[in-house]
Amino acid sequence: MRRPIVKPVDSARSRYPRRRQNRKKMIGTQALWRLLVLAVLAGQNYVWAPALRAETAPTKQPYSEFLVNLQNDQVKRVDIESNGLSAVVELKDGTRMAVDFPGRDSELIKRLRQRQVDISVKAPRQASPVVQVGSALFLPVLLLGLLVFVLRRLSNGAGGPQTLNFGRSRARFSPEAKTGVIFDDVAGVESAKEELQEVVTFLKEPDRFTTVGAKIPRGVLLVGPPGTGKTLLARAIAGEAGVPFFSLSGSEFVEMFVGVGASRVRDLFQRAKENAPCIVFIDEIDAVGRQRGAGIGGGNDEREQTLNQLLTEMDGFQGNTGVIVIAATNRPDVLDTALLRPGRFDRQILVDYPDYKGRLEILKVHARNKKLEDSVSLETIARRTPGLAGADLASLLNEAAILTARRQKSAIGNLEIADALDRVKVGMPKRPLIDSIEKCKTAYHEVGHALLQTLLPNTDPLDKVTIVPRSGGIMGFSASLPDEEVGLETRAKILDIITATLGGRACEEVVFGREEVDDGAGSDLQKVTRLARLMVTQLGMTELGLAAWESPNNEVFLGRDLMPTSEYSEDLARRIDRQVRAIALECYAKAKHILQEHRPLVDFLVEELLEKETLDGEEFRHLVTNYTAIPEKPLVGATF
């Protein structure tokens, strides 16, 4: 095979061009600083030149010696300074001496005249006009030179010539859309991919739509919780369409100077029109697209001007044909209504948490480069992870891989998957508790939760119960697997959830007495209060009737009232509080009754939990079923 002839080059010069360039800049900077120092010294020499050019100063003579010389008639001439405090004395032998006078002495002048000494008074020393002008202008010129030097260094530094161009857009531009992501790399959001496929088709085949009079949406808003793949979808659109791609965050528009954000919006769309057809992706658009006039005392002028310019560029007098704006946010409720109208963001695509099939596809994508044991089933992992987003599933497999490497295993096993799932959902595990009363009370608390989740008919199935402490002060937990196929919650299910949530505190009181209950149920009581108040004030599930007495998302800084106004009277507020308290007390009584009926089973389950420290849902249900037959009588009901 013939090889091309390669000319020898200097390896140092070819290998480190940037280092050589930086060295030249450094040498140039040092030379400039040296010139500035020399200029300062030269200016000082120029300003104080008269003093340097002056004659050699005469020898100092004490005033007493001068009086002695005057008394002995040795003084020939006295040149007195204009201030009368010093003089240059010339003796008859030609010696010149400097004398400091203690003050203006008229008697001294008389004595000098009596001795016939030549007396002269020096005129006040004044600099020449050139020196005066130079000394007045020297410092301002020096400061101006330093300012010019700093500005030139900024404009030619690491930020490039755009460092001082505040109005230029900071969007990252990919002319060939090499995002490295296509739709095949995005899983779990099939419905969103289908809607976005039309955008890709329009960018590839615009005539297919224009011939029938169709117009592609100018803007597409991706809405969904964090980690569901909104940014990944935008990158996949650019990768599929093969068009130029601009990407930036909404916070990059807003600066401390009013008008800078609007200028950046104009520059962004100007560049986009020059590269049309193209895609402009704005991540976290709620940073710049919040409701105008929101907050105390009005809104943010800079942000609102930026939003106004964005609205004009998307749908104003000038068209932006071929420019498709894709934005992402997880707070659509705070966006300005003018931004969501047809003609701007025509489509709002929900990118929600994936279902079972979506989670399975996401796990398959992230498991491509990971080595799993044959016993690991991705289907089982997908069933155990309802409510997790794509980013959570990626973190799950990554944590499992880290645990596998830490334990010096060659492949990821089921134990690593389970530990990683607990770490993602709850937190990192800590050292197990030693055998003590605290560990025993924790076991009874968690068994109270787990047993009620197993016995009550409308609760989600138990997934795991453990007394291994976790970071964040969690002494133990009992997790359930929510049924994702059911979208509506019934009144009976909410009551059973409240009862199971109060099971931990109820079990402590049944076993140890009311005086020995601790603060471990604080988060449980907060959840109970929230659910009970939701039933009373928003869902109409009590005797107060079919009315929503409170509205959700009543936030001050979203353009609403400054002070939250009460939506009901004080009498109704007291009735609401009584209903919330009645629900909690009735469910608590129900939990205590069930646990008292099954007290031997509770003690048996606590012994098993103290021995193994962790029981999965299947094992726990097996222990409950095989211990004794559950009495087939109706449990204590709740009437409100």
614-616 and 462-466: which strand pairing? antiparallel
DSSP 85: S
DSSP 343: T
Q: For residues 484 and 425, give the distance between their C-alpha atoms in angstroms, rounded to a whole number.
A: 17
Amino acid 13: pLDDT: 43
Amino acid 40: pLDDT: 56
Q: For residues 87 and 201, give the distance between their C-alpha atoms in angstroms, rounded to a whole number.
A: 100
Amino acid 240: pLDDT: 81
Residue pair 181/239 in contact (Cβ under 8 Å)? The answer is yes
Amino acid 149: pLDDT: 73
Amino acid 510: pLDDT: 92
Amino acid 138: pLDDT: 73
Amino acid 130: pLDDT: 67
Q: At 208, is the secondary structure helix, strand, or coil?
A: helix
Could you tell me which of 323, 297, 37 has the C-alpha nearest to residue 202?
A: 323
Token code pair at residue 324 = 């498709």
* Number of Cα atoms under 13 Å in the Cβ half of residue 19: 6
Residue pair 289/340 in contact (Cβ under 8 Å)? The answer is no
Residue pair 503/452 in contact (Cβ under 8 Å)? The answer is yes
Compute, in degrees rounded to 10, the torsion defined by CA atoms 476, 481, 487, 493.
-60
Residue pair 614/633 in contact (Cβ under 8 Å)? The answer is no
DSSP 485: T
Could you tell me which of 316, 222, 337, 217 has the C-alpha nearest to residue 266?
A: 316
Q: For residues 204 and 193, give the distance between their C-alpha atoms in angstroms, rounded to a whole number.
A: 16
Amino acid 115: pLDDT: 75
- What predicted TM-score, i.e. pTM, was given to this entire model? 0.65
Catalytic residues: 446
86-91 and 75-80: which strand pairing? antiparallel
Residue pair 495/638 in contact (Cβ under 8 Å)? The answer is yes
> What interhelical angle do 522-537 and 491-501 show, nearest 10?
160
Residues (pLDDT < 50) of the chain are: 1-19, 21, 46-55, 157-164, 296-298, 555-562, 629-640
Q: What backbone torsions phi and psi does residue 170 show, to the nearest 5 degrees?
A: -105, 25
Q: Provide the greatest CA pair distance for the chain.
A: 141
